[in-house]
A and B are shown apart, each in its own frame.
Chain A
Amino acid sequence: MSQMSQMSGAAMAQDKVGATAAVREIPHAVSPGLWALGWKRLKSDYVGMVSLAIVAAFFVLMFLSGTGLIAKDWAKEVGVNYAAPSFIGADVEAGTPAAPAEAPAATPPAAEYQSAIVDPLANVMDEIKGGKPAAGAAPPADVAKGDTGTSVDPLADVMADIKAGAKDVAPVPAELRAATLPLGGDKWGRDVLAKTIKGSETSIFVGLASALVAVFIGTLFGALSGYYGKWVDDFFNWFYSVFSSIPYLLLILAVAAVLNKRGMVTIILILGLTGWTGVFRLIRGEYMKHKAREYVQAADAIGASNARRMFVHIFPNVSHVVLVQLSILAVGFIKAEVILSFLGFGVPVDVVSWGSMLNEAQNELILGKWWQLAAAGTAMAVLVTAFSLFTDAMRDALDPKLKGKAGA
């Protein structure tokens, strides 16, 4: 403080010499801002920096797979069914007997229609044959032919959908299928590594987008409530107590039941519209604290409007709280998305997510195929650990007073 008054004294003294000199003088003495200080503190935090690097690596993966540079062909059946991870070696009994039987079925002249129908059935056949390699070769092939023969197909719509979906997933001939894949293959012989990368894109994107929605709503409501007080505050508090009295999971499921549509936008809306309550309470408190400060009174004195005071003057001073909340929510929503997708209320069938991978892995585990479970589970655990450690480090760096306290 005394430094400041000295400075302004010096500035005034220089005023006589020339205004430009004073203006040039001051920036050197200005103390570093909140963000620069926070970054400096974060850089000295070893754990924080390592977790930041891991989170950044996941984000790079997300952008690369989002732009189609890697893992574009995750849906391609590049390996034999349940291809074993390379570091274990090919599992002869599970994969190979199924493959030769499927090859002739995929080539007949009625090519497009035929292959589209045979393909989904082949999986079922493979499963049957996987258990009994000798007995089940002939009958399933007949069933497949019988299906193509019938002219009135009650499932025509469904098949058309499957066909459309199958177009870019052309069946790979058995000879070209790899016996092992880096992290193994799933029931259809798809590469688990590619699926895991694609799944992290989905999960991180959904987590971040819904956290943005929730933080936006929470900040807006909190700002209005804390700034205006009185009946506005009463109204938003009522709204808050209504939302927070319904347990979070139940609220999510109820909204999911009502919307009854599967899609990325739906799940982002569900998570975002239900998850704003924590942010609201914090931001409301911050605004109540800040609105009485001198700089807001000064803004009032120079004629700044309410909206300007709220979002141009106060908001930058609470933005670090918002950022920490965004990070906390993103972690929570990544976890929630996995559970929702696992239950089948999340992303659509043609999008891979860690949740849908875990759902498939549940049945694979009983057959002893543990790699998809391990891949999806580990990827998620690493991201969530790094993300939450980074969040802690960021909070400590931006708000050192809170250090050591477990936050919300």
Chain B
Amino acid sequence: MGAYIIRRLWQMIPTMLGVILLVFVLFNWVGGDPAYVLAGKISNQEQIDNIRRQLGVDQPWFVQLWIFIKQVVTGDFGASWSTNEKVSHILATRLGPSLTVVLPLTILDALISIALALAVAYVRGSLTDRLVMIVCTVGLSISILVYIIVFQYVFAYKLGWFPVQGWGNSFGENLFVYSSLPILILLTVSIAPSLRLYRTFVLDEINQDYVRTGRAKGLSENRIMWLHVLRNASIPIITNLMASLPGLLLGAFLIERFFSIPGIGREVILAVERSDFPVIKALTVYVAFATMASNLLADLMYKWVDPRVQLK
């Protein structure tokens, strides 16, 4: 086990270097000279030379790359170009609000869609099953933007059940007052695809021999579904859940923007709007690292859920 983890971490290094290289090429060459972006439209050559020296872009490329690698390792990306806030501080403070929305969302989404998937797969082929699937397909086709605009208008603006937008200082207030409508909207959007996927996972298991054996020895249907089928179906479900985690962190970016939640997603949009390169660079690199870490975690969980799996 330990050897496996070490080997996997070792194999991650080329990919990490690749991500760094990709971001470096993207922001230092494809986008043109960063000094011009930072200096803005009204600037003279002297200012630009000055900025070039500060950013280190007057150095040869390998020195620049080395500077960037040092930034990634130490976590010190300097200050934001637009607000002058330390990038490390931005990352640290924006993570909390994002997690406040995303963690309850992930847990609720998993619980609800797994329960629904078991129920729908149990009555597979029936009218209920087909109706639920049609609702899922249609619900999936409506843009998330429409859900957000309509829900915010109806539930917050018209009916006044939730605040239209905002963010408080206490965790409880944020979670139960300001996050509830965003979580409700994201649940509406995320349950349909999860349910469709989990249903096929359950269907793969429900015709297996062990289900018949369980019935033959007189197990209750509840026990068969919730204990035996669920345990087997949870292998692909967990992998899917873990793989979607880092994306979720950003997937909530539209919600964060609409509801003025000071999270990572909103920060990305702001940074793109302001051409705030240090913030985007730092976010891209670290979110990519987080993705790799959660992929490794997913494989380890895989082994934990299904002891038959051999890690190589």
Contacts and interface: CB of A to CB of B under 8 A. Distances in A.
B145 A245 contact: no
B291 interface: yes
Nearest to A380: B143
Contacts of A382: 141
Contact of B141 (A355, A362, A381): A381
A258 B30 contact: yes
Nearest to A249: B250
Given A366-B157, A405-B200, A358 B272 contact: no
A339 B268 CA distance: 14
Interface of A: 238-239, 241-243, 245-251, 253-260, 335, 338-339, 342-345, 354-355, 358, 361-362, 365-366, 373, 377, 380-382, 384-385, 388-389, 404-406
Given A238-B15, A258-B31, A260-B37, 16 more contacts: A238-B14, A242-B19, A245-B291, A246-B22, A246-B288, A247-B250, A247-B288, A255-B26, A256-B272, A338-B143, A345-B272, A361-B149, A373-B146, A381-B141, A381-B146, A388-B141
Contact of B273 (A246, A249, A344, A405): A344
A358 B143 contact: yes
Interface string B22-63: 110011001100000100000000000000000000000000
Contact of B284 (A254, A260, A381, A406): A254
B251 A358 contact: no
B145 A239 contact: no
Contacts of B254: 339
A335 B141 CA distance: 9
A387 B145 CA distance: 19
Contacts of B197: 406
B99 to A, nearest CB: 16
B160 interface: no
B196 to A, nearest CB: 5
Contacts, number: 126
B247 A259 contact: no
B284 A245 contact: no
A238 B18 contact: yes
A353 to B, nearest CB: 12
Contacts of A342: 145
A381 B142 CA distance: 5
A354 B145 CA distance: 11
Interface size class of B (residues with CB under 8 A): 35 or more
A-B interface, 6 closest residue pairs, ranked by CB to CB distance from nearest: A242-B18, A258-B31, A384-B141, A385-B141, A377-B146, A257-B272
Contacts of B174: none
Interface in B121-177: 137-138, 140-146, 149-150, 153, 157
Given A257-B271, A260-B275, A381-B141, A246 B291 contact: yes
Most chain A beta-carbon contacts within 10 A, residue among B37, B143, B200, B254: B143
B65 interface: no
Given A338-B145, A365-B153, A249 B283 contact: no
A365 B275 CA distance: 30
Nearest to A234: B14
A381 B138 contact: yes
B269 A388 contact: no
Contact of A373 (B27, B137, B149, B272): B149
B292 A245 contact: yes
20 contacts: A241-B15, A242-B22, A245-B291, A245-B295, A246-B19, A247-B247, A249-B253, A250-B268, A253-B269, A253-B280, A254-B280, A254-B284, A256-B272, A257-B31, A258-B30, A343-B257, A365-B150, A373-B149, A380-B146, A388-B141
A246 B19 CA distance: 8
